[in-house]
Amino acid sequence: MPKRLNFDRLRAALDTLKLEQAKQLQADLIVLIEQLEQQGNTPQPAPKVREVVEVRQLGDRLYQLERVRCGKAGCKCQGEKGQLHGPYWYAYWRTEGKLKSRYVGKQFRAIE
């Protein structure tokens, strides 16, 4: 099944990511998962991947300080009582109706 092969390749490619790239990808996935859930494509509620600690609105950007679950098997963050990563700041905004996100970092700062 070609789809499965691509997915495996995608996952294998994750090993080559730098830390900042991995964190951006994580932000992208948070948005993607939320969109899929809103579309009702997820038959069961997905495990909680983040916990919002603080929210700040700045212009048209929403900034959230979040603790996150990475989804990596065997990580300390797994399970109901797992120790989540972070907290890290993420920025969210809409461009032409599409929800965008960006990893900001441990320290709050306004992004471009």
Q: Which of 18, 16, 20, 15 is nearest to 103 (CA)?
A: 20
Cβ proximity to Zn ion: between 50 and 102 the closer is: 50
Tokens of 75: 């990580």
Which residues of the shown chain bind Zn ion in the complex (CB under 5 A)? 70, 75, 77
CB of 74 to Zn ion, least distance (A): 9
Distance between CA atoms of residues 71 and 26, nearest Å: 10
N- to C-terminal Cα separation, the chain? 41
CB of 86 to Zn ion, least distance (A): 10
CB of 47 to Zn ion, least distance (A): 12
φ, ψ of residue 105 to 5 degrees: the values are: 135, -175
Cβ proximity to Zn ion: between 49 and 70 the closer is: 70
Cβ proximity to Zn ion: between 77 and 99 the closer is: 77
